[in-house]
Amino acid sequence: MDSEFPNKALTTTRFSDLKPPLSDPVLQALTHSGFDFCTPVQAATIPLLCSFKDVAVDAATGSGKTLAFVIPLVEILRRNSSNPKPHQVLGIIISPTRELASQIYHVAQPFISSLTNVTSMLLVGGVEVKTDMKKIEEEGANILIATPGRLHDIMNRMDVMDFKSFEILILDEADRLLDMGFQKQINAIITQLPKLRRTGLFSATQTQAVEELAKAGLRNPVRVEVRAETKRLNDSAASKQLESSKIPSGLHIEYMECEADKKPSQLVDFLVKNRSKKIIIYYMTCACVDYWGVVLPRLSVLKGFSLIPLHGKMKQSVREKALTSFTSLSNGILLCTDVAARGLDIPGVDCIVQYDPPQDPNVFVHRSGRTARLGKQGHAVVFLLPKEESYVEFLRIRGVPLQERMCSDNAPDVVPEIRSAATKDRDVMEKGVRAFVSYIRAYKEHHCSYIFRWKELEIGKLATGHGLLQLPLVPEVKRHTLSTEGFEPVKDINFEDIKFRGSCTREVISHCCQFASGGADPRGDCPVRSSENKDFIPVGMEAKIPPVGTLGWGLGTKHPSPRIPRIRP
């Protein structure tokens, strides 16, 4: 049996053994995709949904939830619907992010294609809503795989869609749907659907809001709770805590405690030592991804590395291209925010680096879960500042054990090279300031504020770790006494002489002027600006770095300190 069944993340139950039995076309699609045995969540959930029961599923990340609802959806439609009309909507799958919805759509296609005269459509933001509406109007769609905002918008705008024969609703990553503020849209969508339907609610984290959604949207649901197999520990108390852990047994998680000014050097050292690996690095803000996505490729020790940035403020086409490029790599590095923390199944990811701990501690597990999927081995490491060390005990209590990883003694000091890049390219300099300020604002919004105490941030070391040439004056610095120790401003440099390299200057200035006049920020990485639009300082035009040895950012004293908008990953 061991040779036939080596993957401990799978059960001994074959898809062909499930009751009620799956149809031949679905079994053929499974075999063609290389799936013979069920994961625990699939073995438990598929028979229930196929028996027309509502389910509320609580399962570990990377446990195979997608097939657990795609297969029943296809089987229910095969049995209950024959030759549906083009605008008859029979099934809906709702997912929190564009990337996850797109992934589900592509996973589902081999199974949906086995249905006769049934069409599916992906509805996500990033494309014109009128384009989606026109396609629905002309071609119809029987299965909708969508993000809640776009689906709600289209359902409100169009009356051509017929829900009278609706069969099944799936809410994937339900906790994340609610965390992102979609409860109102989801409730509105549910009210437009027939009550006599099947509903599946899938989540890796159970919260009170998820419980309330289950009560409102499900009828007498069967609760399915699947925990990952966990490692055996000598400590019986620790073992007892891990009985309910959602950390896969193949995942090894470490923490590295180091000062903020040493973080980039330790990161680079880690990347160099794992250059043959496929790695995801998580940052707290879009501005941080933008900055490190520009800086890291310029470091001499990282020449030849494939570094791909991804965050939620990028255009949809850019996000899709980035995700596709990283997925196709055998080794490379994805720099991203939490837009890639949930549900995405990127094959072959070896390591997860949480350069910044997430604002929401629940996301920690989801980030780490991008590796060690379906019984495979994986490695994750989180960087912590010395004053954040109690986060380790906090996670242990929540059933997430971490082991200490010592800082490397021979890590190359990359800060001088980062600063050198900033003195040669204004884009690097500006992005560094934006990243620094966005980090401070995001840090203030940590859910565990008793662990991540922003008033104890050592911004001098933080600024050094960002390779800044000067300390920007931000409200968090001006109104509170934060330590600037450890920062030495660059001397004997005229900041006005630092120009944009390449041909982007005209585009940047145009972008800034458009934003200053009240227009939307098309690039999503708004420049440093004052608290009022009228005091906006266009990057690359009048903005000046203050004199050496002072804290400031702007045009003298008549411009207030820059206001940093709420940071959203």
* Model pLDDT, residue 107: 95
Residue type, 494: N
pLDDT for 179: 82
Q: Which two tokens stand for residue 389?
A: 């060390």
From CA 65, how far away is CA 202, in angstroms rounded? 7
Helices 148-157 and 183-191 cross at an angle (nearest 10°) of: 40
pLDDT of residue 458: 94
**Phi-psi bin for 374: left (phi > 0), alpha (psi -120 to 50), beta?**
left
Fold match, 15-226 / 251-477: yes
* Calpha distance 47→212 (Å, rounded): 25
Tell me, what's the pLDDT at 229? 54
The Cα–Cα gap between 131 and 139 comes to 12
- Whole-angstrom CA distances from 416 to 61, 303, 318 are 40, 17, 31
Measure the CA–CA gap between 46 and 52, rounded to whole angstroms: 10
Q: List per-residue pLDDT tens for the chain, 569 residues long.
A: 344 444 667 889 999 999 999 999 999 999 999 999 999 999 999 999 999 999 999 987 778 899 999 999 999 999 886 789 999 999 999 999 999 999 999 999 999 999 999 999 999 998 899 999 999 999 999 999 999 999 999 999 999 999 999 999 999 999 889 888 899 999 999 999 999 999 999 987 777 778 888 888 899 999 998 866 544 444 444 443 333 456 777 899 999 999 999 999 999 999 999 999 999 999 999 999 999 999 999 999 999 999 999 999 999 899 999 999 999 999 999 999 998 888 788 889 999 999 999 999 989 998 998 998 877 899 999 999 999 999 999 999 888 999 999 999 999 999 999 999 999 999 999 999 999 999 999 999 999 999 999 999 999 999 999 999 998 887 766 776 788 899 999 988 888 889 998 644 444 444 433 333 333 343 333 333 333 332 223 333 333 334 333 334 432 333 333 343 333 33
**CATH top-level class of 15-226:** alpha beta
User: Which CATH topology does 251-477 take?
Assistant: Rossmann fold (3.40.50)
Packing angle, helices 415-424 and 263-273, rounded to 10: 100
91, 77 contact by CB (below 8 A): yes
- The two counts, helices (H) then strands (E), for the chain are 20, 14
Angle between helices 286-295 and 426-443 (to 10 degrees): 140
**Domain assignments of the chain as residue spans, ordered by start:** 15-226, 251-477
Amino acid at 450: Y
Exposure of 11 by Cβ count < 10 A (0-12 exposed, 13-18 middle, 19+ buried)? middle
- Spatial CA neighbour of 262 closest among 56, 412, 107, 419: 412
Q: Are 310 and 282 in contact (CB under 8 A)?
A: no
Cis peptide before 412 (omega within 30 of 0): no
Distance, in Å, from the CA atom of 521 to the CA atom of 532, rounded to the nearest integer, reads 15
* Distance of alpha carbon 520 from alpha carbon 532, whole angstroms: 15
Q: How many CB atoms lie within 10 A of CB 297?
A: 15
Residue with tokens 């925010």: 337
Q: Which pLDDT score is estimated for 293?
A: 97
Q: C-alpha angle 154/157/158, rounded to 5°?
A: 85
Two tokens, residue 334: 């994805």
The pLDDT value recorded for residue 387 is 95
Query: What is the CB neighbour count within 10 angstroms for residue 405?
Result: 18
Q: pLDDT tens digits, residue range 421-432? A: 999 999 999 999
H/E segment holding residue 307: strand 307-310
